[in-house]
Structure 1
Amino acid sequence: MSPGATTAVDSLAHLSATEALGGFRSLEISPVEVLEAQIERIEAHNGDRDTGINAFTETLFDTARHRAAVAADEYVRLARDGGPVPALLGLTVATKEKHGIAGLRLEQGLAAHRGRIAAADHPVVERLNMAGGIIHARTTSPEFSCATTTHSPMWGTTRNPWNLQASPGGSSGGAGAALVAGFTTLATASDIAGSTRIPAGFTGTVGYKAPYGRIPGFSALAADWYRGDGPMGRTVADTALLASVMSGRHAADHGSWGGNGINPLAGGSVEGLRIGLSLTLGDYPVAPEIRENTLAVARALEAAGATVVPVDLPWTTGRITETIFAHFGHILGPAMAVETAGTEDRLAAYTARFIADAAAAARRNTLVESLGMDAALQGELAAAMAGLDALLCPTSAVASLAADGDYLNGIDTAERHLGHYWEAHMTSPFNVANRCPVLSVPSGMSADGVPTGVQVVGHPFAETMAFRVAAAVESLVPSLGSPVLA
């Protein structure tokens, strides 16, 4: 096949959710056809755990085929009789393994969890099923979703379809890889320091970190105010559609809030908006090609009628890393230590490093002190965004990561050595300021053949404005297309 050439199967597999729904309603295409096209691509291109894309922990094709046939019949009935159409009826959704499905494994890549079975559906899974979505596969993540690459002893290495030597990012790396490869229409993700936006940036997809509590979580760690579950898609509209299904108050999560079924994509141009631009968020050593791609987005927004305002923030990568690890040291780190007790010798190196770094930061900073560190960053962001409608910045400072990289000794950039791999990503400040809605949308390509992304940051709870600007960016940046898979 020549570069860029597509087949009918490829075209069906890569339909956006909105395109697929239109075809389903008109009976021009069937949910069965789309599912089978994606299964064909999975079987042809997902490969093995060592050299392939390896996006999934398991597939659920038999159940999915049954549900697709039921959805196809329902569209025929609806065309005849009319009536309301469930929001995701017939659409495939690949769910992150941590979003438990009752009766199926819930291992999070950990040897300590091997054989663990979910007792109940995660609230996100419950809502996908109620909306008619078809869960046909479960996506990979690093152990306990604690790294920015996606590999583990249990599940092997997940690779970026754009460049198999590169990582799709993490921790929702399987979700990003599956989307861009045409293995699924939609995907679920989670984000406690960038785990939705980092893979979106590296795969040329769209990832949304909603305000804290907007999408319900599960179990005790749902109370961690840095965290959030979220949607990923190939377009801003698809991501908004999935967000509308996932969002809203749920009895299982007392921190959840707001209405369900509200689509945050309200439309509107950027003409007259004031959009802040920060290329470095203080002192992040942003790669030249990422700077240029971000500047190109800013110039396009200006041409569309927005006023772009340079923004300075008094942040350093070291300070941000200390802030987030002080937080992790009092919540996530101790939880991981408890969950992995007795299996320390079987942990991935990055997991052991995360637990150790979190514990060390907690010894340096009390919980009360970490709250003060959070508040300082939040206040500085609020001051920088005063008088603006949204903020634009890169998603990651580096152009790519090696698929199997641990980065235990940090990362070298053209400007300086970063002592910790988290300093390569510009996402975690907005988990500290976790009431802000943030999307990562594509901004172009790097010399490594890996996409680059920009983040659109809204004021606290201002979801519609964040989606408005993100949709404008998407319309102004040339489409990346899809990677050609061998």
Structure 2
Amino acid sequence: MTKTELAYLPAYKSLEMFKAKTLSPVEHIEALIDRASAVEPKVNAFTNTYFDEAMDKARLAEKKYAAGKPTRKLEGLGIGIKDESEIRGLPTTNGSLAMKDYVATHTSPVNERILRAGGIVHARTATPEFSCTVTTNSKLWGITRNPWNPELSPGGSSGGSSASLASGTSALCSGSDIGGSIRIPASTCGLYGLKPTFGRNPADSPFNLDQYAVDGPLARTAKDMILLQNVMCGPHKDDMVSLRPKLSISSKLQPIKGWKIAYSPNLGFYEISDDVRRNTEEALDTFRDAGAVVEQVDIGWTEDILAGAMQHLEHLFGGSLAELVNENPKTFMPYTRALVDGATTSNAAKFLEAGEIANRMYSELSKVFAKYRLLICPTTALPSVPADSDGVSTQIFINGQRVHPLHGWILTVPFNMLCRCPVVSAPSGFGQSGVPTGIQIVGHTYRDQDVCRAALAYEAVRGEGFASPEKIPKMR
């Protein structure tokens, strides 16, 4: 097996080989570092790297496996951590010049669990400034590119994580999702990504209290996604909204024969490209091959629901950044300033209305869920957008129609509004640009196990290795 093949090996298989002593954590971390040296100058998925420290930890893990000592759930795996959450004593920049010298004084709950599970943090992954947009570029770190087509974006805000996984420079990666920031990059890079139920995974204050915002896993396989989710999840002493008891999701393949699945091609109002529509419909056949019954439905949503989402995001997210940004606006990216500008016109009535809109949306979706176990729809309306898109001034067209540059090409935001509905994004095919497309598998409230079970069944028919060294173009 070549180093490149080792770099793309599913995380669960690497762990199996560690235990069988046919692969060592040292060889694994070396393969990730070697791959990064080849592709990072082009992809730009990483911010700070810790390769020497990672090799030291890999040697310690190697000794444990060699001696047959008990090992932890992620022992020896190279994990890319989004440069948004914190690890005590290490920089956390949030992709912003304003935080380029900040060193964390505590460790975020999900990172604490990854480290305690034996994960080796070899790199931090790039994010747009304060995760404020759905592509990944910043003044501090520059543009992160999609390994499938460097002219296009790997999505955002967890775009560094998705680009790293797709280019074979991490075994697993963390992400966070406040408007699609796990699912969008999973879709654009051919990965699996879970937006868990709000509260399923603990988070830092104050965004642990924002029901739109969750931390979650990104991976190249559904089984790897579940592996990392099971490490992240469960109640935490510092997060009063974290759910108890812990929900451990089975990674064993279970049938979905006879499940009734609803399909919405556009959630009622999005413009959808031909590539995405075709690939989504082919993905539905995969579920039918797995024994499910799939039927098209009309949810009844209209485009005005997105105004509710922006009222929520501007009020809380924009408001949280206002003081910092207003001190020196020119330091910040246009997308950050736009979010803060929205906060200046926000008020309690608008924020309350956002909640009322979400409740109306759920009253419509609940009618669908009365008959169906899952809902499937595209993750994005286009495979991707230009890598330098900023979500503010970039012109985005679908089928000749101009759409909003931030939320007009993503179908993820409605499920942040319906925050108790878990969602998996799974790969569905490729667009003409060579960039992958994805589907969202949406579950009933709190039924994280359903969406993960469906993802495993889908992958069992479709096969693993969507993002693999045989498929990813050589980065020049």
Q: TM-score range by the shorter chain?
A: over 0.9
Which residue, out of 30, 40, 45, partners 2:39?
45
Q: What is the percentage of aligned positions where both structures have the same residue?
A: 37
2: CA distance between counterparts of 1:31 and 1:98? Answer: 26
CA contact (8 A) 1:208 1:440 kept: yes
For structure 2, the 5+ residue unaligned runs are none
Alignment of 1:233-382 (within 5 A): 233-260=219-246, 262-317=248-303, 319-360=304-345, 362=346, 365-382=349-366
For structure 1, the 5+ residue unaligned runs are 1-6
| Alignment partner, residue 108 of structure 2 | 122
**Which region of structure 1 is more displaced relative to structure 2, 473-482 or 214-223?**
473-482
Matched, 1:111 2:101: no
User: 1:426 corresponds to which letter in structure 2?
Assistant: L
User: 1:342 corresponds to which letter in structure 2?
Assistant: E
Task: State the secondary structure of the residue aligned to 1:332.
Answer: helix
Alignment of 1:53-452 (within 5 A): 53-78=43-68, 83=70, 85-260=71-246, 262-317=248-303, 319-360=304-345, 362=346, 365-409=349-393, 410-414=395-399, 416-452=401-437
1: CA distance between counterparts of 2:396 and 2:357? Answer: 25
Task: State the secondary structure of the residue aligned to 2:241.
Answer: coil
Give the paired residue count.
Answer: 470
Q: Deviations over 1:309-365 (max 9, x none)?
A: 212122233x232011111122111001123231211111111122223544x2595
User: 1:296 corresponds to which letter in structure 2?
Assistant: E
2: CA distance between counterparts of 1:336 and 1:476? Answer: 45
2: CA distance between counterparts of 1:365 and 1:325? Answer: 13
2: CA distance between counterparts of 1:274 and 1:102? Answer: 46
Task: State the secondary structure of the residue aligned to 1:331.
Answer: helix
| Alignment partner, residue 13 of structure 1 | 7
2: CA distance between counterparts of 1:308 and 1:253? Answer: 38
| Alignment partner, residue 473 of structure 2 | 484
Task: State the secondary structure of the residue aligned to 1:38.
Answer: helix
CA contact (8 A) 1:186 1:238 kept: yes
CA contact (8 A) 1:171 1:196 kept: yes
Deviation at 1:303, TM superposition (A): 2.7
2: CA distance between counterparts of 1:366 and 1:181? Answer: 42
2: CA distance between counterparts of 1:332 and 1:467? Answer: 29
Q: Deviations over 1:117-159 (max 9, x none)?
A: 1110111111011101111000000001011110000010000
Task: State the secondary structure of the residue aligned to 2:180.
Answer: coil
**Which region of structure 1 is more displaced relative to structure 2, 166-175 or 262-271?**
262-271
CA contact (8 A) 1:168 1:203 kept: yes
User: 2:233 corresponds to which letter in structure 1?
Assistant: S
**Which region of structure 1 is more displaced relative to structure 2, 9-18 or 345-354?**
345-354
2: CA distance between counterparts of 1:217 and 1:426? Answer: 24
Q: Deviations over 1:67-120 (max 9, x none)?
A: 111111111122xxx64x311111110000111111111221222223121110
Q: Deviations over 1:391-436 (max 9, x none)?
A: 1110001121100112424522115221342121000111111111
1: CA distance between counterparts of 2:153 and 2:436? Answer: 11
CA contact (8 A) 1:411 1:421 kept: no
Deviation at 1:269, TM superposition (A): 1.5
User: 1:93 corresponds to which letter in structure 2?
Assistant: I
Deviation at 1:44, TM superposition (A): 1.5
User: 1:430 corresponds to which letter in structure 2?
Assistant: F
1: CA distance between counterparts of 2:103 and 2:189? Answer: 30
2: CA distance between counterparts of 1:229 and 1:342? Answer: 29
**Which region of structure 1 is more displaced relative to structure 2, 149-158 or 219-228?**
219-228
1: CA distance between counterparts of 2:247 and 2:241? Answer: 18
Deviation at 1:188, TM superposition (A): 0.2
